[in-house]
Amino acid sequence: MSLCNMPLFELFLPIIQNNTIQNWTAGDFWKHMKLSKKERNRFNRQRIYRILRKLVEFGFLEKQVIQSNPKFSRFNETDKIGELRERGKSKADISKMRLEEAQTKLEISFLEAQAEKYFQLEKNFPSLSHQISDEKSKCLSKIIELKAYRSALKSVIDAI
């Protein structure tokens, strides 16, 4: 199983990105997890241990077993952890792009509805048709601009 596809890894990645891991125990990782009381169970604790084992196996962390108490181990980051941090940044950027694309889609829908109302206003108030037409033109050009932006976002997201 790929490290990024492991259960809870999406919650684990921000811990790695936002902290320097020096002499951490498994409990230190657990404390940084943002889990609800219901999620703080033995099953998820085992998932954390599996993730730590994989991080050591892939060379992102070093594990030092404490001789006086072999149940406790200390973890330190290696130089290779920078690769994992970069991977996490690109995942976060993709999420932001998807959110931006969804927000742009909503804004386009709103502006299209607004443009329809401008057409109604021109019919209902012919004496103000010039002013209404100017506002309608601004609205329509904004729609074109946003559609181009959304198209660019979609093409990048689809390429990933």
Kindly tell me if the per-residue pLDDT of 9 is higher than 90.
no
Q: Which of 10, 156, 145 is nearest to 97 (CA)?
A: 156
CA distances from 104 to 73, 101, 117, 150 (A): 48, 5, 20, 6
In the chain, % of residues over pLDDT 70: 95
Q: In this predicted model, what pLDDT tens digit does every residue of 35-61 receive, in sequence order?
A: 778 887 888 888 888 999 999 999 999
Kindly tell me if the per-residue pLDDT of 109 is higher than 80.
yes
pTM of the model: 0.55
Average pLDDT rounded to a whole number, residues 9-17: 81
Residues contacting 34, CB < 8 A, separation 6+: 11
Give the pLDDT confidence score for residue 88 in this predicted structure: 66
Give the pLDDT confidence score for residue 151 in this predicted structure: 95
Q: What is the mean pLDDT of the chain?
A: 87
Single-letter amino acid, residue 111: L
Single-letter amino acid, residue 106: L
